[in-house]
């Protein structure tokens, strides 16, 4: 009977933790897609795809994987010294992994799994897109929300641990992955100087909101067995763009 009571209490605690995680949501502010403003007439800065990168870190209780997603093309719209719009097109089909570089067989296996319907389903959704809807000056009131994670050696870095140092702006934009578009807001460090835009941002999102459901945290039994993958993904934007008046914003 004592063992049964202990197991019942443990199950209740796990369920309470799962419910608390759902209540806290994601670290970045996520909402329905927002309207994209017309930015015709602004100066256009072309993103340098070789100098820019999108990084990702995925975690599970037994380890982590990290890599990059290449940028196909993109541009940043600037007016009166302020960013007023922009677009980043990402090639999900060319997603890469870094931590398994010494084991090409395992690396290819992971990449193919990420391309599969379990995750990005690149056969049907080979690309992703981020479209800026607003950029505001960052203030102390724009503090990030920290999600409580199931405790393990490899749990994802929290928003405060992962976020970029010395944020200057709060960026909001529509992120489209796997055919789903949602608005995401996050802190960023942005500099506009010498005909260049340099922007860095690091934030967390819940992958399941975009339909990447494989081994998610919803199954408490799997969680107890440490077989799940954290819903939280650490994302990083490192963008370099150069002024190019010949490119127009859509």
3-state secondary structure of 116: coil
The pLDDT assigned to 4 comes to: 41
Of the candidates 86, 116, 119, the residue with the CA atom closest to the CA atom of residue 199: 86
User: Which residues, at least 6 apart from 104, have a Cβ–Cβ distance to it below 8 Å?
Assistant: none
Q: For residues 78 and 230, give the distance between their C-alpha atoms in angstroms, rounded to a whole number.
A: 37
The pLDDT assigned to 26 comes to: 52
Tens of each residue's pLDDT in the chain, 250 residues:
444 443 333 333 333 333 333 333 356 889 999 999 888 778 999 999 999 999 999 999 999 999 999 999 999 999 999 999 999 999 999 999 999 999 999 999 999 999 999 999 999 999 999 999 999 999 877 777 788 898 899 999 999 899 999 999 999 999 999 999 999 999 999 999 999 999 999 999 999 999 999 999 886 666 666 779 999 999 999 999 999 744 434 4
Q: Do 249 and 44 contact (CB within 8 A), yes or no?
A: yes
């Amino acid at each position: 009977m004592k063992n049964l009571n202990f197991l019942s209490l443990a199950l209740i605690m796990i369920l309470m933790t799962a419910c608390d995680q759902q209540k806290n949501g994601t670290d970045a502010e996520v909402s329905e897609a927002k309207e994209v403003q017309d930015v015709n007439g602004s100066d256009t800065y072309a993103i340098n795809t070789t100098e820019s990168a999108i990084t990702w870190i995925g975690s599970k209780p037994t380890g982590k994987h990290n890599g990059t997603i290449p940028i196909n093309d993109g541009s940043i719209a600037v007016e009166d010294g302020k960013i007023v719009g922009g677009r980043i097109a990402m090639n999900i089909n060319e997603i890469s992994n870094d931590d398994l570089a010494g084991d090409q067989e395992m690396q290819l296996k992971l990449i193919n799994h990420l391309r599969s319907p379990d995750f990005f389903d690149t056969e049907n959704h080979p690309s992703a897109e981020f479209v800026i809807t607003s950029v505001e000056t960052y203030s102390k009131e724009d503090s990030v929300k920290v999600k409580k994670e199931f405790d393990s050696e490899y749990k994802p870095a929290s928003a405060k641990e992962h976020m970029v140092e010395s944020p200057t702006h709060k960026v909001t934009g529509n992120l489209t992955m796997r055919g789903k578009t949602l608005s995401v807001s996050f802190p960023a460090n942005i500099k506009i100087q010498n005909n260049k835009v340099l922007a860095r941002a690091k934030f967390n999102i819940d992958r399941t909101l975009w339909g990447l459901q494989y081994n998610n945290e919803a199954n408490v039994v799997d969680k107890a067995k440490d077989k799940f993958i954290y819903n939280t993904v650490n994302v990083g934007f490192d963008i370099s763009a150069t002024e190019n008046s010949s490119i127009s914003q859509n």
